[in-house]
Amino acid sequence: MKISKYLLLSTTILGLMNPLVALADEQSNIGSNSSSQSSSESINKNNHKSTQKNIQQNNNNVDAQTNKATSETEDATVNGLPYSYDATTKTVTYHAGTYTANGGADVVNNGLLEDIQNAEHVKFDGKVKIIANNNDTIELFTNSTKATVIEGMNNIDTSNLTNFNYLFAETSYESLDLSNFDSSQVVSFWGTFYHMRNLKSLDVSHLDTANGKHFDRMFSGMGNIKELDVSNFNTSNGVSFTYMFAMTPYISNLDVSNFDMANAKTVTSMFSYDASLKTVKTGAWDLSHVNALNSMFRKDTSLTSVDIENWTTGQLIGVRNMFNGASSIKKLDISKIDMTNNEMLTLDHENIESDTYTQGLTGMLADMSQLEELKIGPKNNLNSVGWGEKSTMLVCLKRVNKISMGINIMGIGVTLVQDPPIPPLVKIHGHQLI
């Protein structure tokens, strides 16, 4: 029995102890779990802080890169001239200094924008002196085909230059103001603004051209210009003017009456292919040293008025295509055009087909489809022209109803009275030339 009691007591005690052990284990587990949870929370908290720190650092890096991209620029030099280039805004800024053109292919092919041809904006924030060695041609902006805006042109010192050849040729600038450019030493303006197809505004009203000899293609191919003021140009030393205003399709009026042409030798195609040109004021030009007026107003399809009646000419050997295609002119006075030395007009062209013959007077007046009144004179060398049914003078003038020689006019059909007499009666397009 004793044994049973002790056993029962033992069992009872053990039974009482088991819950305590379990409770202790549970409390231990709870403590352990609590510690683990606390540890986990600490780790998570640290991880969160680390992540947030990394994000903030990344954001700072992005901000730094953004600030760098928007505020920092690349600094360099071109031919000794310092500049800064911002690739984000595509702006190149030239600082005070000297640009020395070394001449040769490097200058002709490169220019200021040699290494930054993607620039869209050009600025000069300090005085920049341009120097050309050996009077070389400076195509200063030749590679700025994408740049449309140029600022600070008043800071450019060109007083050392003797030529402006192709200075802005084939660039994309929309507006240029050369009011502060010193061109007092410039002899050649060859192609200065050649093929500036985007140019809409050009101020050359203060340009000093007193020493200028060559004005060839100076304004040729300016695709958007509608107005051009050259009234202050001094051309007293000018020798060559070929294609000076040619292929400027939107200019409607030109006043060049102030041009001193006494030393001019070449004026070929000076105003040719100007589709919108309506009037040209030339005044009393002295072209006595010019030997050819070829294609001067060719294909000026809108031209209605050109005052050439007061020109002085001499030594002419060619007037080929002078007014060819000037289809809006109704009245024309060529009586002062001296063609007495024109070898082409001394030949007998009666047997040459008119549609293929483009020399002499036929080429001069070809395709003038609206011409109604023509004034001619002894200086036109009429007596040397083949007068006949295929006259090289009049075969293309189908609409002409009046041809006058001086003040001697008879208005019956096409009638001309001349002293001295012209060759015998001939018929031209059903009209009579007496």
The residue written with tokens 């409390």 in the block is 27
- 274 in a structural domain: no
- 203 in a structural domain: no
Residue 117: predicted pLDDT:
75
Other residues' Cβ atoms within 10 Å of the Cβ of residue 381 = 22
Residue 417: predicted pLDDT:
36
Beta-bridge partner residues of 311: none
Q: How far apart are CA 59 and CA 64, in angstroms?
A: 8
Q: Closest by alpha carbon to 368, among 343, 332, 404, 403?
A: 332
- 19 in a structural domain: yes
For residue 127, the SS3 value is coil
Between vectors from CA 216 to CA 212 and to CA 222, what angle results, nearest 5°?
A: 115
Residue 55: predicted pLDDT:
45
Please state, in angstroms and as integers, the Cα–Cα distance from residue 44 to each residue in 31, 37, 49, 267, 268, following that order: 19, 10, 8, 88, 88
Residue 116: predicted pLDDT:
77
Q: What are phi and psi of 100, to 5 degrees?
A: -110, 115
Residue 338: predicted pLDDT:
86
Residue 375: predicted pLDDT:
82
- 49 in a structural domain: yes
- 419 in a structural domain: no
Per-residue pLDDT of the chain (434 residues; tens, 9 = 90+): 434 433 333 444 344 344 433 334 444 443 444 444 444 445 444 554 554 555 455 544 434 433 333 346 789 998 889 999 999 999 999 999 999 876 554 444 457 877 777 889 999 999 999 988 766 667 788 767 889 999 999 999 999 999 999 999 999 999 999 999 999 999 999 999 999 999 999 999 999 999 999 999 999 999 999 999 999 999 999 999 999 999 999 999 999 999 999 999 999 999 999 999 999 999 999 999 999 999 999 999 999 999 999 999 987 888 888 999 999 999 999 888 887 775 544 333 333 333 333 345 557 888 888 888 888 777 776 544 443 344 445 545 556 666 665 433 333 233 343 333 333 333 333 333 43
| Number of domains within the chain | 1
Query: Could you report the per-residue pLDDT of 10-55, keeping only the tens digit for each?
Result: 444 344 344 433 334 444 443 444 444 444 445 444 554 554 555 4
- 205 in a structural domain: no
Please state, in angstroms and as integers, the Cα–Cα distance from residue 143 to each residue in 96, 102, 158, following that order: 21, 17, 19
Joined tokens for residue 381 = 């060398």
Q: Closest by alpha carbon to 387, among 423, 417, 351?
A: 423
Expressed as residue numbers, the domain containing 26 is 1-72
- 26 in a structural domain: yes
What is the Cα gyration radius of the chain?
43
The residue written with tokens 């003021």 in the block is 229
Residue 364: predicted pLDDT:
82
